[in-house]
Copies of this chain bind each other. A is one copy, B any other.
Amino acid sequence: MNPSLTKKQIAQAKAYCTSERADLEVDPRVEALVNELLGRVADKWTMLVIEVLTTGGEMRFTRIAEAIGGISQKMLTQTLRQMERDGLLVRTVHPVIPPHVDYRLTKMGDSLAEAFCGVWQWAGQHLERIEKARREFDARTAK
């Protein structure tokens, strides 16, 4: 898959949602790239870290782990590194002993948090309706 992206393709991706999307043909390569990105960026732990840092501001390793609860050191390190690599957060090492490392979201990280808000709100608003739909479906198919 081609990792480069033309201006036109980005314009398409942007236009995708804002316009009436009746017969807008989106280049499959844009889709592939955006999906690959979403797959990495929107995983469980990343979302939780974003949430914690959004509400807590700058925090250090152990405090993030406590705030999330139920994450292993391994997974937290992994997630944090990935997010740093993607430019979603900055990692500041204070060379003291014992070690002290701070994490905070970048502007891009903040903007991702905002983008997620739509989905987050949707989930809050539709939670009950989904649970109802599930109950009905299960009742229907149990027969």
Contacts and interface: CB of A to CB of B under 8 A. Distances in A.
Question: Most chain-B CB neighbours within 10 Å: which of A5, A86, A87, A124?
Answer: A124
Interface stretch (A11-19, A72-80, A95-103): A11-19
Give the oligomeric copy count.
Answer: 2
Given A37-B123, A108-B126, A138 B16 contact: no
Given A10-B127, A121-B13, A48 B35 contact: yes
Contacts of A121: 13-14, 16-18, 115
A63 interface: no
Nearest to A112: B122
A18 B117 CA distance: 8
Given A10-B125, A17-B121, A124-B14, A38 B34 contact: no
Interface string A1-43: 0010100001001101110010010101011011101110110
A123 B31 contact: no
